[in-house]
Structures are given as structure tokens and as C-alpha cells.
Structure 1
Amino acid sequence: MALGFTVLASGSKGNASLVRVDGAGILIDSGLGPRSLSRRLEAVGAECGSLRAVILTHTHGDHANDLTLRWMARHGIPLHCHPGHLDEAGHRPGFRELAGAGLIRTFDDRPFLVAPGLWAEPFELTHSGPTFGFRLEGREGRKGRPSRIGYLTDTGCWCDRVADALADVDLLGVEFNHDEQMQRCSGRSPALIWRNLGDRGHLSNAQGAGLLSAVLDRSAPGTLRHVVLLHLSDDCNRPALAVEVARDALMRSDRRATVLAASQAVPLDPLLVRPARRPRAAVPVGFPWES
């Protein structure tokens, strides 16, 4: 089953990505206001009426806009979140209204069904507060290889467990937040600089490239065909620089893939995600059809 993927917005002012499966839209994060979200969806040929669910990475306001959460409650759109998210932000009006409407769906560390044919497996990241990345798989029936998307942003570090969770994906969305030297020379407060550079901050270009290399080492040749760079800093990064660092990582691994930098200002052109034709057996990750 082919999946559609686009980033509607990515950055400190608001984050939302769209996965499309059989005409249904699934958002990863809802960090845009309702009007901005509607405009961005229209720009990529989708509409609010097609949304079936939202998956939440973490509760920061640039990933969970309270007005949009309240809009979701009015329109019957469920929110998939971790119990830790509710512990942290369950008092906010948007979360309260979703809970009152019976639209909160909680996940743990096991794969869960988001929409017919689309499963998500969460994995925990290191940030300020409970934060998760996702491996999404779209499959029709029990035969054939699923289309796979890996999505990771807002983490200050990564480990082998994270790279393992992203093995053999067809599209990887990965944080390339800042150039470390630009961050250090940014003129920001020392506290903010050290927070961003710390293990609970954001991945630098070099760290993102290291994770990309680790994922490639765990993946069959030709499997990963799209790399989307996420959450680029306006002040401490440049898209061309981030793309160059990612392409260098691909070159060192002797792999080829399209590399695109997501933007805060305009949506990414939609991508069609299909499985590679002759991949190696994928790393088991516990999805129902792999048992």
C-alpha cells in the first residue's frame, strides 16, 4: 500500500506533518492554528474533512496548538497520545475538551492502529517532557511488504534503540535542527544555547547525519529513498547546509536518496511512499503481521 507524506510546517513556530492512506489524512502533531492548518492542507490538495486522527509526539505548544485541539474535539477527530502527555498537559482546555468528547486514545510502546491499513509504533526520545518518534507502516492484507515511514524530531540525542526502530523505512523524517557552530555563535542566552545543545535539546546537523548513517547501516540497499530534514532553526541553520550534511552521510554509505528540507513557511511538495521492490527481510518490530 502506497502512503502519501508531506510536511505542512516544521520549526519552532508550529509543526504538523500529513500522512495519507486510502484518502484518509493522519496528522503527526497539530502545532498549527485551525486557519493555518486549513490553508496548508488546501495547498497540498487535502482538506480538514479528510482528517481521521492526530498522533502526538509531545505537548509543547509548537506541536499541540490548543485552539486546534479544541477544533478537533468539535469535529470528532481523535488524538493518539501517551499517558505521560496527559499527566503533563491534561489540564489544558484542548485536552480537557477532547477527553470530554471521548476522543483521547492512549498508546504505550506497542504498535497501534491509527486508521484502516495504517499502524504506528512509538519509540521514546530524549527531550523536555515525554516525547516520541514513530515508525508508520501501511499495509493492505497480510501479503507483500508494507510502505514504511520513520519520523523523529525534538530530541537531544539518539541511541542504537532509536536507529533500530527506523531500519528499512522507505522515507525518513529526521531532525536537523542546527549547525553547532552557528548555535554557539548565535548571540542567544547561554542557558538557551546549552539547552539546545544538551541531551534534552535538539539534534544538530552532525547528530542527524550520524543517525541517518546508523539507519542506513541497518537497512537493505535501495530501501530508503526519501530523507526529509525536520525542525531546522531559522537562526542557527541554513537549508542548503543541512541538505549538504545529509547528502554527505548518504555518500559515505554509498547510498542514494532524495534529500529535502522541510520549511516553517510553506508545505513540502507531497511525496508518494512505496516499498522498495527487492528489499532484504526487514528487522522485526512487532507489528501484527510479523508475529
Structure 2
Amino acid sequence: MAVTTRDQLQKAPSAGLIPGTERAFWYFLRISGLLLVVLAFGHLFITHYVNVPSQTVFDWVANRWANPLWRTFDLLLLFSAVWHGIIGLRMIATDLVNNPRGRQIAYGVLWVIGAVFSVMGTVTIFTFDEEAAANNTGPLSGKLWIGDIIGYSLFVFAAVIYIAVILLAVWVIQNLRNDQVPVYNGDTGQYAWILHRATGAGIVFFLLVHIIDIMLIGLGSDVYNHTVSFYANWFIIPMEIFLVGAVIYHSLNGLRVIMINFTESGPVKEAKAFWWVLAGTILLTIPSGIVILIHEL
């Protein structure tokens, strides 16, 4: 869900001042964001509180997809998450890519990625053949190297997150020691904005990898279970906890943005609400972190 700065919110408090297509995107991000609070939190609760990622093996997914309601749930989650993320990345591209031609190319790439992954996910959900996959009779069954590619990509993603967190912490500490304002010379709304975009971009990347690894379930239970086993690796576990925190923060801050956009008192309470979002993120992430550490280590 894209977030504007406090000054922008005060100057353009409603979608009525946003022209054409941008207004449609503005509404879509907020509507899909509300839907994702239910869908994403529900999915997160099942996979990271009741269970842990390494336990979502072939039999677990097969039992889930035996129920048409769960397939429908996952389809809604797929489309709302993919396109919420793609349009969110489009907002980031709008801000960061100054060249008009380069910006249009970035938009085009994002639309293609969104379409491809939507089709891939839909085909996986509705063409899943439990018997064939369980018996490993597919043409790519036994090809564990496919799972290795996905698994090692998680190591790269985790390493990038860890390095970025360390570098950011060092930079902030150095700025504070020199009496300089770190990150942004502004109010809390700007911190909320950069955290929202950073968590959103990270979630989208993991989502695309997750769609690919879910596709492997159709190749055979052996390939899929091999891929899922990577989530129990000690190096990946902190990333999983960071991911839970990112989803929670992005969801809670999205609700904060909706409050700012659609209530009269929202802009006045935005700073206080940001601290509530941070507190809520920490409090809701801790139980999942404990569950993951107990079961994965």
C-alpha cells in the first residue's frame, strides 16, 4: 500500500484530487489492502503461528487443497497480494525513475511480471493432481536440483536482508553520534513511509519466490518437500521472523494510512498511530518468533 508524506496528505486528503488512472490505483491499494489484512493475516497465522514453514509439506498442502474453499481462499490471496504488490512497486518506480522512457519500461516489466505470476499461481491451484504428484510420476519428479535453486535463492535474500539491516543500523548510529538526523529530516510520517515501502518491496520479492516454490508441488512430493526443508535452516530462520514482522508492520501501517485518508482526525493522530503500529508489530511478531525458534532449531 503506497504511502504519501504528511504534507502531501494535507494537500490532497482525498482521492478526488488524484487524476484518472492514479485515482484508480489509489483506491485499489486501499481496498486490496483491507482485503489482505484478513487474507494475509489468516495465512500468516496458519503458517507461522499454528505451524512453521518447514511443516507445510506436500501432505499439508494436499489436504488443504482437497477443500475447494481453501483453493478459493488461496486464489483470492494470490491475486490481491500480487497486484497490490505490483502497483505498490509501480509507485516506487514512479518516485525513483526520473527518465520518462525508463519509467514506462519499468511499468511494462511490472505488468508482465504481475500477469505471469498470476497465471502461474492460478494454474498451480486449479490443476494440482494430488495422486500424480504424490506418486512422483511427473516428468520432473526426482529433479531435486530444481528445489535447490529455490532454496539457495532464499539464502541470497536472507543475506541481503541481514546486510541491509546491519548497514542501516551502523549508519543511523553514526548520524546520531554526529548530531545529524538519520534517514529523513522530517517527522515520524516519513519514517513510516520509508518503512512501508521497504517492507512492501521485501514482501513482494518473497511472494514471487513463494509462488514458484508452491508451483513445485505439481512436479512431485519429493521436489516440493526438498524445497520446503530449506526453511528449517538456521540461516533462514531470522529472515522468516523478519518476514512475519514485515507483513504485520505493512498491514498495520496500511490501516493507519486508511485512517489518515478517510477520517477527519486521522492526520492529527498519524504520529501517535505510528508508535502504536510499531508496538503492535513487535508484540505480534514475538509469539511467531518463539514458535519458529522452538520448532525449527
TM-score under structure 2 normalisation? 0.24
Higher-Rg member (1/2):
2
Higher relative contact order (CA 8 A, sep 6+): 2
TM-score under structure 1 normalisation? 0.24
* More helix per residue: 2
* More strand per residue: 1
